[in-house]
Structure 1
Amino acid sequence: MYSYIIMLSTHDPASEIGPVPGGQAFAAGVLKAPSPPPPGAPLRERLQGLLWPLVILLGLVSVGVLGARNVSANLAAAGMEIDFSFLWQQAGFDVSESLIAYSPRDTYAYVLLVGILNTLAAAAVTLVLASTIGLVVGIAMTSSNWLVRNLARLYVELLRNLPKLLIVIALYVALVRGLPHIKAAWTGPFGAMLSNRGLALPSPVIGHGGLLLALAACLWLVGWAFWARAVKRHQDATGQRRPVALPVLVAGLALYAGLILSGLAQIGWSVPKLTGFNVSGGMGLSLQFAALVLALSVYHGGQIGAIVEGGILATSRGQHEAALALGLSRLRTMRLIVLPQALRVITPPLGNQYSNLLKNTSIALAIGYSDLLSVVSTSVNQTFRPIELMTLVALFFLTANLLISAGVNWCNHVFRIRGR
């Protein structure tokens, strides 16, 4: 039986080489370097690549223009027109919670800002919790322990196949019924209280020198970045790793302590106190906020866990074995070898999850959390301006998701394999 070996050559063989001693035959094949493209070919190829995106873009623009003209004509026939001047009128309604000072005398534009900030706050906290849960669950799904691996897989399969609305309502009802009345609230250190009204925590109160404290925080962050870069250069040069977080934290505490003890800045604490059936002082987290954050965290945590598992499994098994052969523990192998390589696979689908997470905050309307969609719904009932308000909502989510996409693309560029 003949076996054939493809031999590379820089010349064109005239014929096939015949059998050689040993009963084997060689067939010489040639891989030629591609001939240089004719002049103008790159430009033509680029234009061909842009043709379909341009056609799709023109189609979308045409549909948008036709839709806008149709809406404008229908509004004109009804004696109405698109007008955003109502945004500067008094809103006249209250919201359940706000990150900034708000009263019903404020404008519709201001109450929309309140809703946007509430939405971003819930999304930011959920993003951190869901990412943490997903990382832990994803690593657990690749564990060699049968019980840990299957419990993590059960969590993922159960949570990501349940409706988000069902999860948030179930958690909200459980919190309302399971936590004690405000008069019998659970108390913790530093005046913290937990009841069916929410969680009350002590909050810092900045006196004079607030601008100086903000400037010190900015300088501290810049110093952290410079120190981390210096540590990396030292490690690359000597192979010795220095601590990063501990010196920076100590320096930050020393800086703030110096500003406060010198009298240049002042920070006090507001402790929550029970007054009647309400809590005064401190800062509060409502049950609506807690239920929304927990529901979206456990739901998207399962989704992210599946993504992390896929990224880990996409890493070559030889990387694990080589790290174990060098004496690295499983934790250090995962932290130093596997996860940095898995990030290249994890990052693109993770961006989709973050975009979905932001959009899914709209289910807060079901439990009374004052997110953007909630305040817009109330504003529509009062102003009868659904087109203008829904346009603003669409612009907000479009802008936020484009920013998320840009951030993911930047991370993907950073994590790419060098030379590709």
Structure 2
Amino acid sequence: MLGIALLGLLAARNVSANLAAAGMEIDFSFLWQEAGFDVSESLIGYSPRDTYARVLLVGILNTLAAAALILVLASGIGLFVGIAMTSSNWLVRTLARTYVELLRNLPKLLIVIALYVAMVRSLPHIRSAWTSPFGAMLSNRGLVLPWPIIEQGGQALAMAACLWLAGAFLWLRAARLHQDRTGERRPVFLPVVAAAASLYAALDLTGTLHVTWSVPKLAGFNVTGGVSLSLQFTALVVALSVYHGGQIGAIVRGGIIATSHGQREAAQALGLDWLKTMRLIVLPQALRVITPPLGNQYSNLLKNTSIALAIGYSDLLSVVSTSVNQTFRPIELMVLVAAFFLIANLLISALVNWCDHAFRLKAR
């Protein structure tokens, strides 16, 4: 570590000396200057008159939003595919293995670009958009989904959500302790859902909370209402979800295979069906095996969002690329990008290590 620190110091001095010879120096004051360029989409308010610091924040939030959605979708796909790969049904097992072998041996950039081009060419015009029974609309301009709007009682809803989370945690802990003492398994899912529904009904019936749905509607040559997801965002999320879903599926399969087959035979002897055997016996033991490689896959997932630059999605790297062309400050901007990915991946690593410690077998 001392050698790495000395190497970093030497590199920093070398860069500083070369910049000084060119009449330049490391300076981050440009972050408070006017950016002067627009972005295709933003989760927060932004205009070209805002600073470079704000446009970098826009890029960071766009990157995190895409990565969070991809993580959830890829984990669900991977869990389903991994279980299917260990199925006793030949057709299901073969289809799952074909999916994994195909997806993980194709370049992810090729998948993203091919999907984006296919969506641009095949999706209908906005006036002929595909509409689902729930009000979602898909066209060559993107995906528009219905969205709830809290017109009254937002603070009360936030307090109720915090109370519900605390109660759910305490009930889960009490149910686990009761099972350890007596062997009796108390219901968890239904009471937690019932508590959430009861809190929401109480807020609604007392008039404290008023929530309406904004449903997409065609108005002229555009769509009003709902929340709009650009075609670039949709293509990125779908492509990386199916790509990393295949990677995670292989990891889940390895964890299931690592579980002793005798565990499943014992569950069948006790009369447990396949779903309970997988949920209560196999997957909890497989988590101890799949957690470390799963963390590595999540880190790769976050970094792979940078390929969004190829299809024009305004992620962090896209914003930084434009900022470099305008400010001629590549070193400062790349340092900020490296710091963001380093901090984000260290947080992922810390969370995975915590989960690995929590799932570890402990001597009693």
> Which TM-score band applies after superposition, normalised by the shorter structure?
over 0.9
SS in 2 for 1:207: strand
Report how far residue 268 of structure 1 moved: 2.7
Please report how far the alpha carbon of residue 173 of structure 1 lies from its aligned counterpart in structure 2 after TM superposition: 1.4
Please, what TM-score do these two structures have when normalized by structure 1? 0.83
Residue 297 (1) aligns with residue 241 (2)? yes
Q: Which residue of 1 aligns with 2:173?
A: 229
Q: Residue 273 of structure 1 aligns with which residue?
A: 217
SS in 2 for 1:274: strand
The structure-2 alpha-carbon separation of the partners of 1:90 and 1:219, relative to structure 1 and needing over 3 Å to count, comes to same
Tell me the TM-score normalised to structure 2 length.
0.95
Q: 1:275 to 1:257 in 2, by over 3 A?
A: same
| 1:319 matches 2:263 | yes
Trace 1:19-418 onto structure 2 (pairs within 5 A): 57-189=1-133, 191-418=135-362
Name the CA shift for 1:121/1:188 in 2 (closer, same or farther; >3 Å).
same
SS of the residue corresponding to residue 206 of structure 1 reads strand
Determine the C-alpha separation between the residues in 2 that align with 1:106 and 1:92.
7
Question: Larger Cα Rg: Structure 1 or Structure 2?
Answer: 1
1:211 Cα deviation from its structure 2 partner: 1.7
Give runs of ≥4 in structure 1 deviating > 6 Å: none
Q: Which amino acid in the other structure matches residue 385 of structure 1?
A: R
Letter of the structure 1 residue corresponding to residue 263 of structure 2? Q
Percent sequence identity is 79
Instruction: Output the CA distance in 1 between the equivalents of 2:329 and 2:305.
Output: 23
For residues 35-57 of structure 1, what are the alpha-carbon distances to aligned partners after superposition, in whole Å with 9 as ceiling and x for unaligned? xxxxxxxxxxxxxxxxxxxxxx1
- Amino acid across the alignment from 1:378: T
Q: Secondary structure at the match of 2:10?
A: helix
Match of 1:19 in 2: none
Q: Which residue of 2 aligns with 1:26?
A: none
Segment of structure 1 superposing worse, 158-167 or 234-243: 234-243
SS in 2 for 1:82: coil
Q: Taking CA–CA contacts closer than 8 Å with sequence separation of 6 or more, which of the two structures ends up with the larger relative contact order?
A: 2
Task: Render the CA deviation track for 1:73-102: whole Å, top value 9, x for unaligned.
Answer: 111111111111111111111111111122
Residue type of the partner of 2:104?
Answer: R
- The one-letter code of the counterpart of 2:175 is V
Supply the distance in 2 between the matched residues of 1:204 and 1:339 (Cα, whole angstroms).
Answer: 35
**2:337 aligned partner, one-letter code:** V
Give distance in 2, aligned partners of 1:270 and 1:419.
Answer: 53
Q: CA deviation at 1:134?
A: 1.1
Secondary structure of 2:149's partner?
A: strand
3-state DSSP of counterpart to 2:308: helix
Give the match's secondary structure for 1:200. Answer: strand
Give me the whole-angstrom Cα distance separating, in 2, the residues matched to 1:185 and 1:395. 41
Per-residue Cα deviation, 1:366-395 (whole angstroms, up to 9, x for no partner): 111111111111111111111111100000
* Aligned equivalents of 2:304, 2:144: Cα separation in 1: 26
Give the drift of 1:413. 0.3
CA distance in 1, matches of 2:220, 2:38: 22
Q: Aligned-residue CA RMSD in angstroms?
A: 1.6
Distance 1:317 1:269, change over 3 A: closer
Aligned length, in residue pairs: 364
Q: Evaluate the alpha carbon distance shift between residue 190 and residue 137 of structure 1 in structure 2; reply closer, same or farther with a 3 A threshold.
A: closer
